[in-house]
Amino acid sequence: MKVQSSTLVHLGFGKYVRSDHVTALIPVEAERGPGRRTFVYVDGHPDPVIASRTEDTIVRDMVQEPREVIQARQQQDVLQDLLQDLTKVNPTVRRISRDEGGLDLEQLERRIRQVLED
């Protein structure tokens, strides 16, 4: 498992730490209860932060890619597939699409290329 760097990890009750600054996770044994599940040791802090989430949940969030990154990658894949298919549309269909349907496939191709280049 590899920790995702510079990702904020939710510890519960509005507490967040950067994933690459967490040095240790220790389950709370004594006085465990609501709001007291895990001691989170953070680089540069002598005392642990008390998290209301379990160590397993925190570790999962530390090693998993954020949903936004996964969604962005999927969206780029869809745009690349669409662009590849658009290049196969013949000029007659492009003209009919533009004149009769109001869909300018050349403009759409340009917009997709701009998005993919950024």
Same domain for 54 and 26: yes
User: Are residues 79 and 55 located together in one domain of the fold?
Assistant: no
Cα distance between residue 69 and residue 72, in whole Å = 5
Residues 57 and 72 in one domain: no
For residue 2, give the 3-state DSSP assignment: coil
Q: Using N-to-C axis directions, what is the helix angle for 91-101 and 105-117, rounded to 10°?
A: 100
- In this prediction, residue 31 carries a pLDDT of 85
- Predicted confidence band at 1 (pLDDT cuts at 50, 70, 90)? low
SS3 94: helix
To which residue do tokens 């962005």 refer? 72
Examine the pLDDT at 32 and tell me if it is beyond 90: no
Q: Is residue 99 part of a domain?
A: yes
Confidence of residue 5 (pLDDT cuts 50, 70, 90): confident
Residue 72 and residue 107 in one domain: yes
In a domain, 1, yes or no: no
Q: Domain check: are 18 and 57 in the same one?
A: yes
Instruction: Please say whether the beta carbons of 20 and 9 come within 8 A.
Output: no
49 and 92, same domain (yes or no): no
Q: How many domains does the chain have?
A: 2
**Are both 76 and 108 inside the same structural domain?**
yes
74 within 8 A of 34, measured Cβ to Cβ: no
Query: Tell me: the pLDDT tens digits for 74-109?
Result: 999 999 999 999 999 999 999 999 999 999 999 999
**Domain assignment of residue 2, yes or no:** no
Reply yes or no on whether the pLDDT at 12 is more than 80. Answer: yes
The predicted model gives 38-56 an average pLDDT of 95
Q: Is residue 64 predicted with pLDDT exceeding 90?
A: no
Regarding whether 13 and 48 lie in a shared domain, the answer is yes
Which pLDDT score is estimated for 3? 79
Residue 44's pLDDT is 94
Whether 3 maps to a domain, the answer reads: no
Cα distances (Å, whole numbers) of residue 38 to 47, 68, 76: 13, 26, 38
pTM of the predicted structure, to 2 decimals: 0.56
Domain boundary, last residue among 30, 46, 63: 63
- Domain residues for the domain of 55 are 8-63
pLDDT at 69: 72
